RNA sequence: GGCCCGUUGGUCAAGCGGUUAAGACACCGGCCUCUCACGCCGGUAACACGGGUUCGAUUCCCGUACGGGUCACCA
């Protein structure tokens, strides 16, 4: 804007002083006192102090966890502090119990705070940690700005603001409250006095000294040097109810809580000039800004930022309900957050996630699509690295909350369930077919008589009559004590005796000569015993089912097939 | 629309003036094999476009296109 609009306040220092007292009669502290109340932290060199500042709207999704994880890693791996600060300056949006939900959801996924709002109340020396309770601090700072002529009361009504915007749109000017458009920027003290006396509601606006024709440069912790136009907007500092806007609260809190690194989504990039001017005006040393990318979702042909309202399936609760392993979700998010995490993990087997040196430099700056395939793959790997006992413990606690109908069955016979979970586990290359709680229940359901049912058809190349004969013969010859090899040899013999090829290759070479091959015979057994055409090793399944249940299922299949 | 950020295979992404342009997921073959899964081997597939700068551009600069974000007394 013109230099005209950058001029100092029209009010004299004495008038500013009087105005400050008039506006904030209850403010007794001076900003300097707060510097002492919230002294610089005594922390090791290079320690990060980060914070998560959710607004208590009662919904938290993958994107929030994504950011929280970065904050958490940076703070904790550097010996720093991670704070939860509740940004409740908008009472219209507040939802009952939201803070508790946020804390418990994040805790479930392994994100813990050192300081700030907790379920038991505030913890730490830089509180209170709910912004509405810090009103006096913000007002003290606003009072100082008024006194310095760097802020002023604005009595504009919503209508007047709309009008201004309309005129700006018509004139093709940038919208906003700035420069010549800021009509209450230079009210006389008498006019202000008159309106105050009349009880008109007002907000406190910054008197911007910026020039949008000029630029400034900040070095972003993720994106490197960023050049942006200076702010020239007289944006609102304190709302009519005396509560600060995000912009004002953020700058003051991050200063007095001695935050070193501000991680926030890129949606804040556009207002960075606001914050920059505020840091300068208040004389605060700005922390390092780190603007992360947002997590995106594919919608039709285009990508879109995850939305609270449109994407309930991306809520943290959703993954908890499905029974995703917290470690898997964390690990997946880390692969997106830090591009070299995956390779590090591959190169350092047997390490835990917290050993990984997380850096802001390795964070990407273009929006990443949420990739369910990848999450599932990561999840499989995590389950594959766990013992049956660990998986059992997880399933038990998860099902208690999210799958009560399965919980009692899982709890009834721990040894049985663990034996099931142990199939194909323990070797160098464990099976990777466990993804999440619900899916695991589905995967193992046939082991339980309560859930067992035939899901697939018997092999069509075997007639019902022959199938019955095979099953009967198999059942009477079945020896529970035989080992895997001896057992399969017997299945093979049985097949050969009835005209099946001993090897699939023999059958392929000469299909006319056989009724099928040994695989068809075991398919028959598989369907009879598991209800499915595909399953893990049959011998193991029988060992786990036990002799009695095995025989019962064979009998059941014989009966079923006899009716055909 | 103004401003800001971004753009390497379907996805996540290495790369930071000279590479046969990594790797992971997904997909497709093959091997192993009684099915599934695992594992192993192989394959398809990318530097948005146009100008510069340079001996040489994926890499640097400028445009264009496309995508995203933001323009509140919400955060």
Q: What is the largest CA-CA distance in chain A?
A: 111
- What pLDDT was estimated at residue A37? 97
Say if A526 falls within a structural domain.
Answer: yes
Strand B nucleotides within a 7 Å radius of protein CB atoms? 1-8, 10-14, 22-26, 34-39, 67-75
Do A437 and A540 share a domain, yes or no? no
CB A435, CB A379: distance < 8 Å: yes
Query: How many other CB atoms are found less than 10 A from the CB of residue A476?
Result: 9
The residues near A519 (Cβ < 8 Å, ≥ 6 apart) are A504
Say if A197 falls within a structural domain.
Answer: yes
Do A505 and A409 share a domain, yes or no? no
Say if A326 falls within a structural domain.
Answer: no
Do A511 and A432 share a domain, yes or no? no
Judged by C1' against the alpha carbon of A175, the nearest nucleotide is B71
A308 is an active site residue: yes
- What pLDDT was estimated at residue A300? 65
CATH number of the structural domain spanning residue A278: 3.40.50.620
CB A473, CB A493: distance < 8 Å: no
Domain boundary among A254, A274, A292: A292
- What pLDDT was estimated at residue A368? 85
Do A22 and A159 share a domain, yes or no? yes
- Report mean pLDDT in 10-residue bins for chain A, 564 residues: 58 94 94 96 95 88 89 94 94 85 91 90 92 96 96 95 91 90 93 95 95 88 88 96 96 97 92 95 95 81 72 82 94 88 84 88 85 92 94 97 95 96 88 95 96 93 92 94 94 93 84 87 96 95 96 95 84
Judge whether residue A425 contacts strand B, using its CB and a 7 Å cut-off. Answer: no
Judged by C1' against the alpha carbon of A374, the nearest nucleotide is B25
- What pLDDT was estimated at residue A507? 82
Say if A17 falls within a structural domain.
Answer: yes
Q: Count up the domains in chain A and report the number.
A: 3
Say if A321 falls within a structural domain.
Answer: no
Judge whether residue A423 contacts strand B, using its CB and a 7 Å cut-off. Answer: no
Distance from CA(A382) to C1'(B28), angstroms, rounded: 27
- What pLDDT was estimated at residue A435? 96
- What does the alpha-carbon distance between residue A169 and residue A167 come to, in Å, rounded to a whole number? 5
- What pLDDT was estimated at residue A314? 77
Say if A81 falls within a structural domain.
Answer: no
Say if A107 falls within a structural domain.
Answer: no
Do A171 and A274 share a domain, yes or no? yes
Do A439 and A558 share a domain, yes or no? no
CB A257, CB A265: distance < 8 Å: no
Do A404 and A506 share a domain, yes or no? no
CATH number of the structural domain spanning residue A494: 1.10.10.350
Q: What is the pLDDT of residues A167-191, one digit of tens each?
A: 998 888 889 999 999 999 999 999 9
Distance from CA(A36) to C1'(B55), angstroms, rounded: 63
Do A438 and A525 share a domain, yes or no? no
| Residue in this structure with the two tokens 């075997």, named with its chain if needed | A462
Say if A348 falls within a structural domain.
Answer: no
Catalytic residue among A308, A374, A472, A515: A308
Provide φ and ψ at A236, rounded to 5°. -75, 135
ipTM: 0.91
Query: Which residues span the domain enclosing A142?
Result: 3-32+134-292
Domain boundary among A292, A314, A341: A292
Do A482 and A547 share a domain, yes or no? yes
Judge whether residue A536 contacts strand B, using its CB and a 7 Å cut-off. Answer: yes
Distance from CA(A247) to C1'(B73), angstroms, rounded: 12
Judge whether residue A508 contacts strand B, using its CB and a 7 Å cut-off. Answer: no
Domain boundary among A292, A326, A354: A292
Do A423 and A518 share a domain, yes or no? no
Positions 91-130 in A, CB within 7 angstroms of strand B = 93
Identify the DSSP state of A312.
G
Three-state SS letters, A436-460: CHHHHHHHHHHHCCCCCCCCCCCCC
Judged by C1' against the alpha carbon of A224, the nearest nucleotide is B5
Do A263 and A162 share a domain, yes or no? yes
Do A482 and A439 share a domain, yes or no? no
């Amino acid at each position: 804007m013109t230099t005209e609009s950058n001029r100092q306040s029209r009010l004299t220092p004495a008038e500013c002083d009087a105005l400050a007292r008039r506006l904030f009669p209850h403010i007794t502290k001076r900003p300097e006192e707060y510097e002492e109340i919230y002294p610089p932290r005594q922390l090791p060199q290079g320690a990060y102090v980060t914070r998560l500042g959710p607004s208590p709207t009662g919904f938290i999704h993958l994107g929030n966890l994504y950011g929280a994880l970065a904050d958490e890693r940076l703070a904790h791996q550097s010996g720093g502090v991670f704070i939860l600060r509740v940004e409740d300056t908008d009472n219209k949006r507040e939802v009952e119990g939201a803070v508790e939900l946020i804390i418990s959801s994040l805790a479930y996924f392994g994100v813990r705070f050192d300081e700030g709002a907790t379920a038991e109340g505030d913890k730490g020396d830089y509180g209170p940690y709910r912004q509405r309770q810090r009103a006096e601090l913000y007002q003290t700072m606003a009072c100082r700005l008024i006194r310095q002529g760097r802020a002023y009361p604005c009595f504009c009504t919503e209508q007047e603001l709309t009008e201004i915007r309309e005129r700006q749109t018509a004139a093709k000017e940038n919208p906003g409250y700035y420069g010549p458009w800021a009509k209450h920027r230079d009210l006389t003290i008498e006019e202000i006095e008159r309106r105050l006396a009349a009880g008109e509601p007002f907000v406190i606006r910054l008197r911007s000294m910026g020039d949008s024709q000029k630029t400034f440069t900040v070095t972003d912790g993720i994106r490197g040097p960023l050049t942006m136009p200076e702010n020239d907007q007289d944006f609102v500092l304190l709302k009519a109810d005396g509560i600060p806007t995000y912009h004002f609260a953020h700058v003051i809190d991050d200063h007095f809580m001695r935050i070193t690194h501000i991680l926030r989504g890129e949606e804040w990039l556009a207002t960075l000039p606001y914050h920059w001017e505020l840091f300068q005006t208040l004389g605060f040393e700005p922390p390092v800004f780190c603007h992360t990318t947002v997590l995106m979702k594919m919608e039709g042909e285009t990508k879109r930022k995850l939305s609270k309202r449109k994407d309930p399936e991306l809520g943290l609760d959703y993954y908890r309900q499905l029974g995703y392993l917290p470690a898997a979700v964390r690990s997946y998010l880390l692969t997106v957050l830090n591009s070299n995490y995956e390779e590090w993990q591959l190169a350092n087997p047997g390490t835990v996630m917290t050993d990984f040196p997380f850096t802001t430099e390795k964070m990407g700056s273009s929006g990443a699509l949420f990739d369910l395939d990848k999450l599932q793959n990561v999840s499989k790997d995590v389950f594959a690295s766990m013992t049956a006992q660990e998986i059992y413990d997880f399933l038990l606690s998860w099902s208690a909350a999210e799958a009560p109908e399965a919980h009692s069955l899982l709890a009834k016979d721990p040894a049985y369930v663990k034996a099931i979970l142990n199939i194909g586990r323990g070797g160098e290359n464990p099976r990777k077919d466990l993804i999440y709680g619900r899916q695991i229940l589905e995967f193992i359901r046939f082991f339980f008589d309560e859930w067992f049912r035939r899901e697939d058809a018997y092999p069509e190349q075997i007639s019902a009559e022959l199938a019955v004969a095979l099953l009967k013969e198999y059942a009477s010859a079945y020896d529970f004590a035989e080992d895997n090899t001896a057992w399969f040899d017997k299945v093979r013999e049985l097949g050969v005796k009835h005209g099946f090829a001993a090897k699939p290759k023999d059958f392929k070479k000469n299909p006319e000569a056989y009724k099928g091959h040994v695989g068809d015979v075991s398919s028959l057994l598989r369907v009879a015993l598991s209800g499915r055409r595909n399953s893990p090793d049959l011998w193991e399944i029988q060992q786990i089912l036990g002799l009695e249940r095995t025989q019962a299922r064979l009998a059941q299949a014989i009966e079923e097939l006899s009716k055909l």
